[in-house]
């Protein structure tokens, strides 16, 4: 089954470039484009794409505003931010606003495919290039006392190992290959981790991992 995409960027050359990259990836198809975040809710309701590739900075309505509107509508579409911004607060804001992944615009075609595959498989994706940035930001928030209190973790050694890899931006397939496990086994562990922690987003998992010293800035 083909995974459908909506491209949202105010630069036509960027959209053309992403469309060309997607056309070379089997199983994906671009079914619509928009040049402003204000167009996103209507197009999503009309086209029902599986994934929305969304820029943050646009002339009129930003990607963050579009994210808020999509969350209010309860749309099923996954959102992958595709941005040049590496500002920690902006990245965290995007993740906390409902983005399922964050990818930098200077990414490779291979990483784009990995990110799309992650979202298609109901996973989240964080570009390895910004993983350290997100961890650092989460650590700063933890030190400033901003995060909500979390219950002490109740994870097995294997689940802690997998949590570290998830926080570092590894996909289920990469984790399975690295640990010599089946994809199904890793998916089961991932589900149990999120259920036990009651945390269902990357930003939350990063924050928890830093606060509980499961991962550090040196990892």
State whether 119 and 138 are in the same domain.
no
Per-residue pLDDT of the chain in tens (219 residues, 90 and over written 9): 899 999 999 999 999 999 999 999 999 999 999 999 889 999 999 999 999 999 998 878 888 889 888 888 888 899 999 998 888 878 888 887 888 889 998 888 999 999 999 899 888 888 877 877 776 666 665 555 444 433 446 788 888 889 888 887 788 899 999 999 999 999 899 888 988 888 877 667 877 787 677 775 555
State whether 7 and 113 are in the same domain.
yes
Our measurement of the distance from residue 125's CA atom to the centroid of its chain's CA atoms, rounded to an integer in Å, reads 4
The domain boundary residue, chosen from 94, 126, 158 = 126
C-beta separation of 92 from 99 below 8 A: no
Which tens digit of pLDDT belongs to each residue from 185-211? 998 998 889 888 888 776 678 777 876
Asked whether residue 216 is assigned to any structural domain, the reply reads: no
Q: Count the Cβ atoms, other than its own, within 10 Å of residue 45.
A: 12
- What pLDDT score was predicted for residue 141? 59
How far is it, in rounded angstroms, from Cα 142 to Cα 149? Answer: 10
Please state the domain count of the chain. 2
C-beta separation of 137 from 89 below 8 A: yes
Asked whether residue 218 is assigned to any structural domain, the reply reads: no
The domain boundary residue, chosen from 126, 147, 167 = 126
C-beta separation of 81 from 56 below 8 A: yes
Domain extent for 21:
3-126
């Amino acid at each position: 089954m083909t995974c459908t995409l909506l491209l949202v960027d105010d630069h036509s050359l960027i959209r053309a470039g992403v469309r060309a990259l997607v056309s070379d990836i089997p199983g994906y198809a671009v079914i619509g484009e928009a040049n402003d975040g204000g167009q996103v809710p209507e197009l999503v309701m009309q086209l029902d794409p599986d994934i929305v590739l969304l820029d943050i900075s646009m002339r009129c309505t930003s990607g963050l505003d579009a994210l808020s509107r999509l969350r209010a509508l309860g749309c099923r579409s996954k959102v992958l931010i595709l941005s040049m911004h590496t500002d920690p607060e902006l990245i965290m804001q995007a993740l906390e606003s409902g983005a399922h992944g964050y990818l930098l615009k200077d990414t490779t075609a291979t990483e784009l495919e990995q990110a799309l595959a992650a979202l298609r498989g109901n996973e989240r994706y964080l570009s390895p290039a910004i993983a350290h940035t997100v961890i650092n930001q989460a650590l700063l928030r933890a030190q400033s006392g901003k995060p909500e209190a979390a219950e002490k973790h109740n994870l097995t050694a294997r689940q802690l190992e997998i949590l570290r890899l998830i926080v570092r931006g590894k996909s289920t397939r990469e984790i399975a290959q690295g640990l010599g496990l089946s994809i199904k086994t890793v998916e089961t562990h991932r589900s149990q981790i999120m259920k036990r922690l009651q945390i269902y987003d990357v930003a939350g998992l990063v924050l928890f991992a830093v606060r509980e010293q499961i991962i550090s800035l040196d990892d």
